[in-house]
Structure 1
């Protein structure tokens, strides 16, 4: 998961938004600490779970039309 978050934060190829260098990213993780990083990951995973479920429901609806 940290590798995924790193890619999102460091690689802005498709967003055009300022991102962190590798060093800045690891410094950010250090500043956040384990507890806050785990909370961020938990929120992110919850959002992904809901997104996945929503996409499944949309697929069912579309196939039913």
Structure 2
């Protein structure tokens, strides 16, 4: 599971956390308040590719953001 889907999850997650920098460039520090949104977008990308339920459902957000 993680071998196939991990790179997609990680790339999408961190791309969102570092988005919103000056002049459209990546930010220098991650915006951790967007962690839940970032994970949602990453899982959404897997789902849009038709990845089966049992491969994307383990990715959950637990935290205060």
TM-score (norm 1): 0.34
